[in-house]
Chain A
Amino acid sequence: MSPEGDKKNWVGKPLPRKEENRLLRGRGKFADDIKMREMLYLRFVRSPYAHAKIVSVDVSAAEAVPGVVCTLTGAEVAPQVQPFIEIAPDPGGKIKDYALAVSKVRYQGEPVAAVMAESPGIADDAAELVQVEYEALDPVVDAEEALKDASILHEEAGTNRVWNGVFEYGDVEKALKEAASVVSIDRLHFHRFSSTPLENNVVIAQWNPKDERIYYWCNNSFPSFAIQFLSAHLNVHIDRIRVETSDIGGSFGIKITSYPQMAVCALASKKAGGRPIKWVETRSEHITSSAHGNERTFRDTRVALDKDGVITAIASRHIDDCGAYPRYEPLGCVIWSQVFPGVYRFKNARIDFTQTVTNKCPVGPNRGYSRMQHLWFLERVVDICAHELGIPADEMRLRNYIRPEEFPYTTPNGCVYDSGNYPKMLQVAKGLIGWDDWKKKQAAARKEGHLIGLGIGTTLDSGTNNFGQSQIVNPGAPFSGNSQGANCKLDIYGEVVVAVGSCPQGQGHETTAAQVVADVLNIHPDLITVRTGFDTERNVHTGFSGTYASQFAVSGLSAVHGAAQKLKAEMKRLAAFVLETQEDDIEFGTGAQGPELRAKSTGKSINYWGLANIVNVNSAVLPVEMHDVTLNCRYIWRAPFKVPDKVRKYGNLTLTYASQLHIAVVEIDRDTFIPHILDYVAVDDCGTVINPPIVEGQVYGATAHGIGAALMESCVYDAVGNMLTSTFSDYTPITAVNMPKVKYGHIETPSPHSYSGAKGMGEGGAAPIHTISAALQDALFAEGIIVDDSFNNADSLFRAMVGKEIGQVGKLVKLERRAQ
């Protein structure tokens, strides 16, 4: 659809957010704020063991507590449901996943039973009285150990391996043979962390016996995915499940995977005779058993380089740890390949990718999902090679970056990078941080024994994904393409009302959607109401609707724009009829009686109330040939994707590629080993910007998540699978005293793949993790240390520098130079 007649009054402007009015006044409506008649409160009983057989579950003492209405156990639930859909083919596809553990537990914190009571306090007290007898089994917490299958989590699958596939393009062996040098890296490791939204998961469910429908009020961030899983699991028609969300206190992807708890709440409501069940997750429950980001180990990496330090091939083995149940996985086994070569030009590569289960919390999409691990790996490769070959980090990147004139750029695996200019971003970032000055200061400081490093991280935020990539992991998966729905209408009194199938968590969708519609209709955004949250009954969702994967600016706003264009066309036709003129004589604007349509030739006008009146309550004046005018326009936007080639693992997997380039200056204290950020720059390019401060805010937020993950936040397990960071006091999310001032820069390379030139950009690609690893390595390379882990704190730096236990370049990296 062409953006015919769009004004440019609002898109691109720093319009204050429409959401603020309620949020600033404490009038936001979050799921935990909802109270209902006859509501019961659910508390889970959770496993203290990482791996154990369930011998018995005795709920009698809990049920005897006054105020307890009922309990649920896994054994009771299993016969009532189908195991959740598995996305994996066999062996992963054989895994049987239930919302309450049935015969064994597979991670610490796994729900075993649920107690429903008249108050949260009674539910808490009674849950402690549930007696579960366990028989401990050998836990496996390390991915490579798990792949030995010495202790198997899911007997029905027969192996801990969920999925394996080889992604091979070009001629790797030839490139390795012809290389001027080959760098081998034994092992790199990307740690587990979670973006821990400040609001925990909340579910209110009612299985209403009056109409046999299930009603959800919750904060799930991908409801159309959840209902597909719940419908099959609960054996209920999908149309009989209604999901509403309102304000959501952050998700960052984590809240996509709350469907198991949603299932328990529905079953509990059914057992309680249809009383609504409320479950409010505690922070410790969230950290131990909601979802973590994927942990990944990179083994046996070999990098071929030519005489100029240009990478010609990479071969590597990647092992992804998805925790106890695959759930959204193994989609992560292909999603990383959206950014297969990162920002680099190499054409030959072979990645052998395996995913395994371990006795840890299941993973879920976490801001930067699956791509950040791979992009971190590539940035590590680039920096390690640069250091080995004595090439400066900035120069190494310029030699290897995809060049601005090469866009749109087709990657070795068939993805099409829409636009970008990485050398320019590097230039802007260097200018903002004062690169040359810092280099001088660094040299002087080194002479005095200070460990200062400068690091560059270049990253991609691929948005609007092609669900056809699911067929690369499972050729039988019935998914491809991507779509989003929106509705734009004039209500009976002429109000402009927009609904869209997203469920934002702070991304300002109400504001940006209003900006788009305001330009289509040439009115002020204040005159436009954008519905808050998601509701299956609004009939604007498709199977892909939700808020995830950096796409609203493209999928959401394209849908909104399409719906607004349809409405505009109908309004114009109707106005031309009423004003007795031709459609091309009609102009849109605002007059004395509010927003209106005018005949340029006569100056006669009709306002929105008048148009809505005719269609809704005065329709006898409407001629039959105009009966198709409803002023209530639904539009489904579809991304122009094809099904990828499953055998070659080849095809375009994402529509847009926003990029970010960060530079950090980091000093490691010689005495305390605490790393301090001395200076920090973030430069982003997300194409045409809809609302600049919203974009800037997303960049800052993703930067804080990345810096937190790089230096402070890690989901730590001991050798037997006890989670050691199960409260915020242990997990230590980044605070205002740890977060450096960020210098912000911006360039714009409009996307040719979206109607507006915008690219999705919410995830940020975890640039700080790459950047801080690079800066730490720059500080420590002279000490014989490479940064081989994405998480670095005073403890790990001490172990590397003093204990010489980790990060020793001599043990991890080998450089082989060939005579040319």
Chain B
Amino acid sequence: MPKKLAKGKKAAEPKPAANAAIEEIPISVQVNGKPHSLSVEPRTLLVEFLRENLDLTGTHVGCDTTYCGACTVVMNGAAVKSCTMFAVQADGAEILTVEGLEKDGQLHPIQKAFGDSYGLQCGYCTPGLMLSAFQLLSRNRQPSEKDIRKAIAGNTCRCTGYQNIFKAIESAAQNMKGV
């Protein structure tokens, strides 16, 4: 990972910078309501930027090939797989990660529903699934079972067999009525 991070300033490098030849590109993004302006290598993936540069480790990597959705975040209102985007492509965007779901220490109804429905086991896929559910429920407050299945078709869970995830999203939709 590039070592020069903090607020666009070059951090002191004790060793010769291995990536000195690679020109870094400044980007500005708003993540969970907080603005960040940093420089990144062009090849830095959005998920790497979130995890390594911003220390938002709730977003995970599961497959590297856009199948599993463990890296799903919401960018400008749309669920995207952050392992399949460069950080530079997110320049100027508003991003929501799992860390931004709760408000003032109160769980978001989707988080609460996942917990109440036993919709997670190891918890590795859960942030991505909740953000796909977030996109679904922000567009469709009364999703059918088919809508739910389609909305999370790109999120692999290897623990739950999806049954309690279906229940969680149905129950979140109920709880979000009128919100």
Which A residues are CB-close (under 8 A) to B118? 17, 693-694, 696-697
The yes or no answer to A197 lying at the interface (CB within 8 A) is: yes
The yes or no answer to B72 lying at the interface (CB within 8 A) is: no
Question: How many residue pairs, one in A and one in B, have C-beta atoms under 8 Å apart?
Answer: 201
Given the known interface contacts A24-B111, A198-B125, the answer about A700 and B160 at a Cβ–Cβ threshold of 8 Å is: yes
The yes or no answer to B92 lying at the interface (CB within 8 A) is: no
How many residues in B have their beta carbons less than 8 Å from beta carbons of A? 65
- By the criterion CB–CB under 8 Å, are B67 and A32 in contact? no
Distance, CA A741 to CA B57, complexed state (A): 32
The yes or no answer to B134 lying at the interface (CB within 8 A) is: no
Closest chain A CB from B166 CB (angstroms)? 8
Partner of B115, one of A24, A505, A703: A24
- By the criterion CB–CB under 8 Å, are A737 and B150 in contact? yes
Interface size range on A against B: 35 or more
Which B residues are CB-close (under 8 A) to A33? 51, 57
Given the known interface contacts A249-B124, A701-B159, A703-B161, the answer about A729 and B65 at a Cβ–Cβ threshold of 8 Å is: yes
A7-49: CB near B (< 8 Å → 1, else 0) gives 0000000001101100111111010110100000000000000
The yes or no answer to A248 lying at the interface (CB within 8 A) is: yes
Distance, CA A17 to CA B148, complexed state (A): 24
The yes or no answer to B1 lying at the interface (CB within 8 A) is: yes
Distance, CA A249 to CA B120, complexed state (A): 11
Partner of A736, one of B56, B59, B101, B149: B149
- By the criterion CB–CB under 8 Å, are B158 and A26 in contact? no
Residue of A whose beta carbon sits closest to that of B126 = A23
Which chain A residues (235-254) contact chain B, with CB distance < 8 Å? 247-250, 252
The yes or no answer to B49 lying at the interface (CB within 8 A) is: no
Given the known interface contacts A30-B57, A122-B19, A282-B64, the answer about A20 and B120 at a Cβ–Cβ threshold of 8 Å is: yes
Given the known interface contacts A118-B18, A198-B156, the answer about A30 and B63 at a Cβ–Cβ threshold of 8 Å is: no
The yes or no answer to B41 lying at the interface (CB within 8 A) is: yes
Which A residues are CB-close (under 8 A) to B2? 119
| Residue from the set B60, B66, B99 with the largest chain A CB neighbour count within 10 Å | B60
Given the known interface contacts A16-B115, A119-B18, A727-B67, the answer about A199 and B122 at a Cβ–Cβ threshold of 8 Å is: yes
Partner of A23, one of B52, B63, B120: B120
Distance, CA A19 to CA B119, complexed state (A): 12
Residue of B whose beta carbon sits closest to that of A26 = B58
The yes or no answer to B70 lying at the interface (CB within 8 A) is: yes
Residue of B whose beta carbon sits closest to that of A247 = B123
- By the criterion CB–CB under 8 Å, are A700 and B164 in contact? yes
Partner of B163, one of A67, A249, A741: A741
Which B residues are CB-close (under 8 A) to A252? 158
The yes or no answer to A94 lying at the interface (CB within 8 A) is: no
- By the criterion CB–CB under 8 Å, are B60 and A199 in contact? yes
- By the criterion CB–CB under 8 Å, are B60 and A25 in contact? no
Closest chain B CB from A247 CB (angstroms)? 7
Residue of B whose beta carbon sits closest to that of A24 = B111
B105-145: CB near A (< 8 Å → 1, else 0) gives 00100010011101011111111001000000000000000
Residue of A whose beta carbon sits closest to that of B145 = A741
Residue of B whose beta carbon sits closest to that of A39 = B1
| Residue from the set A120, A200, A250 with the largest chain B CB neighbour count within 10 Å | A250
Q: Is the interface of A mostly helix, strand, loop or mixed?
A: loop
Residue of B whose beta carbon sits closest to that of A22 = B123
The yes or no answer to B177 lying at the interface (CB within 8 A) is: no
- By the criterion CB–CB under 8 Å, are B122 and A249 in contact? yes
The yes or no answer to A810 lying at the interface (CB within 8 A) is: no
Closest chain B CB from A118 CB (angstroms)? 5
The yes or no answer to A121 lying at the interface (CB within 8 A) is: yes
Which chain A residues (723-737) contact chain B, with CB distance < 8 Å? 727-729, 733, 735-737
Distance, CA A741 to CA B170, complexed state (A): 14
Given the known interface contacts A66-B18, A198-B158, A506-B159, the answer about A247 and B122 at a Cβ–Cβ threshold of 8 Å is: yes
- By the criterion CB–CB under 8 Å, are B65 and A66 in contact? no
Q: Is the interface of B mostly helix, strand, loop or mixed?
A: loop
The yes or no answer to B91 lying at the interface (CB within 8 A) is: no
Partner of A198, one of B15, B17, B124: B124
The yes or no answer to B157 lying at the interface (CB within 8 A) is: yes
Residue of B whose beta carbon sits closest to that of A68 = B18
Distance, CA A396 to CA B99, complexed state (A): 55
The yes or no answer to A96 lying at the interface (CB within 8 A) is: no
Partner of B67, one of A17, A66, A508, A728: A728
Closest chain A CB from B19 CB (angstroms)? 7
The yes or no answer to B61 lying at the interface (CB within 8 A) is: yes
Which B residues are CB-close (under 8 A) to A506? 120-123, 159
| Residue from the set A20, A122, A508, A727 with the largest chain B CB neighbour count within 10 Å | A20
Which A residues are CB-close (under 8 A) to B19? 67, 119, 121-122
- By the criterion CB–CB under 8 Å, are A25 and B111 in contact? yes
- By the criterion CB–CB under 8 Å, are A697 and B162 in contact? no
Distance, CA A505 to CA B160, complexed state (A): 12
Distance, CA A295 to CA B24, complexed state (A): 49
Which A residues are CB-close (under 8 A) to B41? 121
- By the criterion CB–CB under 8 Å, are B161 and A700 in contact? yes
Which A residues are CB-close (under 8 A) to B101? 25-26
| Residue from the set B3, B126, B148 with the largest chain A CB neighbour count within 10 Å | B126
- By the criterion CB–CB under 8 Å, are B60 and A121 in contact? no
- By the criterion CB–CB under 8 Å, are A198 and B153 in contact? no
- By the criterion CB–CB under 8 Å, are A28 and B58 in contact? yes
Distance, CA A213 to CA B81, complexed state (A): 40
Closest chain B CB from A344 CB (angstroms)? 28
The yes or no answer to B155 lying at the interface (CB within 8 A) is: yes
Residue of B whose beta carbon sits closest to that of A117 = B18
Partner of B161, one of A117, A121, A249, A742: A742
Which B residues are CB-close (under 8 A) to A122? 18-19
Which chain A residues (458-495) contact chain B, with CB distance < 8 Å? none
Show 12 A/B contacts (Cβ-Cβ < 8 Å), sorted by A: A23-B123, A25-B99, A27-B99, A119-B18, A247-B123, A250-B122, A283-B62, A506-B123, A507-B121, A700-B164, A701-B121, A736-B155
9 closest pairs, A vs B, by CB? A26-B58, A67-B18, A249-B124, A506-B121, A23-B123, A506-B122, A704-B161, A700-B161, A26-B98
